[in-house]
Structure 1
Amino acid sequence: MDILTDIYSLKQLLSTYKSKGKSIGFVPTMGALHDGHLFLVNLAQKDCDIVVCSIYINPTQFNDSNDLENYPVTIEQDIKLLKTQKCDILFMPSHDEMYPEGLKTNNFELNNIDKVLEGSKRPGHFDGVCTIVHRLFSIVEADYAYFGEKDFQQLAIIKQVVKSLSLPIKIKSGETVRENDGLAKSSRNTLLTKEERQIAPLIYKSLMKAKLAYNKSSYEELKKMIIDDINNAKGMELDYVEIVNPSSFNPLKNKTENDQAIALIAVFLGNIRLIDNLSLND
């Protein structure tokens, strides 16, 4: 595996592959890799000749400085995992490489799906995400990029950026990878205490309960069911839960036969914020 830290070297290497007609798959990450990331690398390997993974903790997408400071860093372990997975290239740029003019973000036309849920709770978050993803796309110039469905709203927003800017890249998604007890794999899981880790699977269980009750309950009843589960759990504090249309992100109120419904949730468990989602009627 080639490990590169500067844009020039990465572009030089990729140009040699592209000149030979090789297809490029790209998996952008912030490190602290887990099975969810490796699943995306594996998807990319099935589609593409060469797979690039990036590790860059992007400061502009953190609206909480404590969250940025505490974000887990496991570079040696990450490199080992990617080598085992037979990833071709790891790109680990510095802040100066990624933000040569300082930590500034750009504005993007996102059809207002950046204004709700994560967007309303984390002001500026998606500006930071879109800025760094657009920058990485322009550097790697991959054929495909891969994102996890756990960050469902982020995935939708990145698809919107690609569409609105007519970027020459196709976005593919990987289903949420879960622990045996249902907890969605996340880099932040490592920050949970032993007791918190035992409580955390309740998030997924509450979503599953709503899914099973979908046919016989209103949206209001389904939301209340999830809210009650979280409020009754020791140490959990609900940040938001909403049942929305997965394309428009508009909240669903009255059921119709053709509804597509996905529940999205964010919960604080101690100081750690966890997100998850589940399609309720697929």
Structure 2
Amino acid sequence: MVDIAQVTTVAALRQAVAAWRNAGQRVALVPTMGALHKGHLSLVELARSRADRIVVSIFVNPTQFAPNEDFARYPRVLEQDTAQLAGASADLVYAPPVEVMYPDGFATTVSLGGPATAGLDDVVRPTHFAGVATVVSKLFIQAMPDVAVFGEKDYQQLKVITRMVHDLDLPVEIVPAPTLRESDGLALSSRNRYLSTEERALAPAISRVLIESARRLRAGEPVATVAAEGRQTLAAEGFEVDYLEARHADTLASVSGTAEGPLRLLAAARLGRTRLIDNMAV
């Protein structure tokens, strides 16, 4: 028997959180779309170091998928996820159905600028971050956590959420968690299960190219040259490249040289039907 509570309504979530708050406990939220792996569990571990109680939300958010994306086939394995979270000592699973998050007549979204319009994932997925920001803002209002943990693998998302919390004065501390990787360097992702055997063998090239590009940038090579040659290398390896760019690590603004501030390399590329994203500090 899985020893972890699970709720599906806002009222039940708030009742649980209120009891913890009345006991003087800090609450952390780890938002996920389920299909959990070791990377997600590391977020729970980090949350445990920052709070007394951990809520993990599991919700495959339809508003962040474009019509041609993988919403219908995105893996949904709630029972397995719940068992993993019990083993990771999370306290509560919040798994609302779509009609709880988006009831009839729902008509409000979050409007974004800054990192959400940086010319990276927002070019390929123009409605994505509005969907992310809307659902995350709802989760924050529903759970009222002290802390929320987000992985650095989705780096643009992390910066979008961080900006939103700052701009809207939301009383939530955003804690970034380092990217976990397989032994060959591939960043852990729920979508890795889509890769064929041949594609899985090719996939680590994206992290190798980022490592080499970061090394070259630290050595003083031109940003535009390094990024262009990184894209060419990935294309030669069989990737369909959406982008590989060096950007300011905080704002995601374009840069022309390494002297313009801390840099972050960000990449997104497809192997077959699977879209992979990764990033690396310079």
TM-score by length of structure 2 reads 0.95
User: Which consecutive residues of structure 2, in runs of 5 or more, have no partner in the other structure?
Assistant: none
Question: Contact 1:149–1:174 at 8 Å: present in 2 too?
Answer: yes
Q: 2:276 aligns with which of 269, 274, 277?
A: 274
Task: Please say which of residues 127-136 and 8-17 is displaced more in the overlay.
Answer: 8-17
Q: Distance in 2 between matches of 1:208 and 1:131?
A: 33
Task: Please say which of residues 218-227 and 178-187 is displaced more in the overlay.
Answer: 218-227
Question: Contact 2:115–2:159 at 8 Å: present in 1 too?
Answer: no
Any idea what SS the aligned residue of 2:275 has? Answer: strand
Match of 2:99 in 1: 96
Q: Distance in 2 between matches of 1:101 and 1:114?
A: 29
Any idea what SS the aligned residue of 1:147 has? Answer: strand
How big is each residue's C-alpha offset from its partner over 1:121-161, in whole Å with a ceiling of 9 and x where there is no partner? 10111100000000000000010000000001100010111
Please tell me whether residue 226 in structure 1 is matched to residue 230 in structure 2: yes
Question: Contact 2:118–2:253 at 8 Å: present in 1 too?
Answer: no
Q: Distance in 1 between matches of 2:80 and 2:110?
A: 35
Task: Please say which of residues 157-166 and 102-111 is displaced more in the overlay.
Answer: 102-111
TM-aligned CA deviation for residue 272 of structure 1? 0.8
Question: Contact 1:108–1:161 at 8 Å: present in 2 too?
Answer: no
Match of 1:264 in 2: 266
Q: Distance in 2 between matches of 1:238 and 1:109?
A: 25
Task: Please say which of residues 53-62 and 100-109 is displaced more in the overlay.
Answer: 100-109
Task: Please say which of residues 54-63 and 95-104 is displaced more in the overlay.
Answer: 95-104
User: Which consecutive residues of structure 1, in runs of 5 or more, have no partner in the other structure?
Assistant: none
How big is each residue's C-alpha offset from its partner over 1:79-112, in whole Å with a ceiling of 9 and x where there is no partner? 1110111110000001111112356451324336
Match of 2:73 in 1: 70
Q: Distance in 2 between matches of 1:105 and 1:253?
A: 38
How big is each residue's C-alpha offset from its partner over 1:163-200, in whole Å with a ceiling of 9 and x where there is no partner? 11101111001001111100000000011111111100
Task: Please say which of residues 218-227 and 105-114 is displaced more in the overlay.
Answer: 105-114
Q: Which amino acid aligns with 2:189?
A: S
Q: Which amino acid aligns with 1:129?
A: V
Question: Contact 2:159–2:251 at 8 Å: present in 1 too?
Answer: no
TM-aligned CA deviation for residue 66 of structure 1? 3.9
Q: Which amino acid aligns with 1:43?
A: L
Q: Distance in 2 between matches of 1:115 and 1:201?
A: 25
User: Structure 1 segments of 4 or more deviating over 6 A?
Assistant: none
TM-aligned CA deviation for residue 13 of structure 1? 1.4
How big is each residue's C-alpha offset from its partner over 1:50-98, in whole Å with a ceiling of 9 and x where there is no partner? 0000000000000134411121122221111101111100000011111
How big is each residue's C-alpha offset from its partner over 1:196-249, in whole Å with a ceiling of 9 and x where there is no partner? 111000000000111222214111221123112101113x11011111111221
Distance 1:64 1:205, change over 3 A: farther
How big is each residue's C-alpha offset from its partner over 1:21-43, in whole Å with a ceiling of 9 and x where there is no partner? 11101000000001111001001
Q: Distance in 2 between matches of 1:28 and 1:40?
A: 9
Match of 1:20 in 2: 23
Any idea what SS the aligned residue of 1:47 has? Answer: coil
Please tell me whether residue 189 in structure 1 is matched to residue 196 in structure 2: no
Number of equivalenced pairs: 278
TM-score by length of structure 1 reads 0.95
The two structures, once aligned, show a CA RMSD in angstroms of 1.4
